[in-house]
Amino acid sequence: MKHHSLIFLTGFSGSGKSTIGPLLANSLGYGFIDLDQEIESKAGKSITKIFAEEGEQTFRNLELETLRQLTGKKELVVSLGGGVLENNDCYRLIRENGTLVYLKSSPRSLARRLCNKTDRPLLKGEHGTRLSREEIELKISTILEKREPRYATADLSVQTDIKRIGSTVEELTRTIIRFVRQAEQARLKQQSDNNREKQ
C-alpha cells in the first residue's frame, strides 16, 4: 500500500540529497535514511569496494533488497543514490509505495559542487584521469538527459541551485505537508466511495 509520508529524495549526485534529507526529516518530524549508507552498513564495505570486488549487479541486488525493506514504513525520508531510478524494479517499488521528490540542479551547479570531490568515479576519465570542470559538466549533462524521463515523473520537484539550503528545506516541508494531507484526503474519499458502492 502506498504511504505518502514515505518520502524518497532523488536527484543527481551533488543536488543536496544528503544535506537536505536530514534537515527535511527533522523539520517534518520524520526519520531519515541514506540508502547508500544503509547498503554499505549491510555489506560491511564501501560502495566503491562492492563495485570493484563484486560488480555492479551485486550492488543493484543489494539496492533493491534494502529498498524493499523500507517500503512498508511511514514518516520516513529516504535519500536515494543517483542511479536508483534507472533500475526498473527499484523505480516500480518507489512509485508504488511512496512520494518521489526530485531535487533539481543545473549541470553547471552540479559540476561546481562536485569538482573538488576526488572519490567519485563520475569525475574521472576512461583511464582514471581527472576531468576538468567543463568535461565534468558535459558528462553530467549527458547522464541527466538519460535520467530526465524518470526524474520528470516525480510527485514534487524543487530547484536546489538557486536558493539557500534553509529556504529550500522550508519550501519542501510546506509542500510535502500539503501534498501528504491532500493525498490522504483523496485516499479516504476513495475508500468512502468504494464502501458506499458495496452497500
Sheet holding 6-10: strands in order across?
31-34, 76-79, 6-10, 99-104, 156-159
Domain ranges of the chain: 6-105+151-192
Does 17 show up as a binding residue in the annotation?
yes
- In one-letter notation, the amino acid at residue 199 is Q
Does 14 show up as a binding residue in the annotation?
yes
Asked if residues 40 and 46 have their Cβ atoms less than 8 Å apart, the reply is yes
pLDDT of residue 163: 67
pLDDT of residue 196: 79
Asked if residues 20 and 104 have their Cβ atoms less than 8 Å apart, the reply is no
Does 18 show up as a binding residue in the annotation?
yes
Does 189 show up as a binding residue in the annotation?
no
Architecture of domain 6-105+151-192: 3-Layer(aba) Sandwich (3.40)
Does 130 show up as a binding residue in the annotation?
no
Using the Cα atoms of residue 191, residue 68, residue 12 and residue 8 in order, give the sign of their dihedral: positive
Does 82 show up as a binding residue in the annotation?
yes
pLDDT of residue 51: 86
Does 120 show up as a binding residue in the annotation?
yes
Q: Rounded distance, CA 97 to CA 7, Å?
A: 9
Does 60 show up as a binding residue in the annotation?
yes
Reading the chain (199 residues) residue by residue, the pLDDT tens digits are 677 889 999 999 888 898 899 999 999 999 999 999 999 999 999 988 998 899 888 999 999 999 999 988 999 999 998 889 999 999 999 999 999 999 999 999 998 888 776 566 667 777 777 788 888 899 999 999 999 999 999 999 998 887 677 788 888 888 988 988 888 888 888 888 888 777 6
pTM of the model: 0.87
pLDDT of residue 152: 95
Does 36 show up as a binding residue in the annotation?
yes
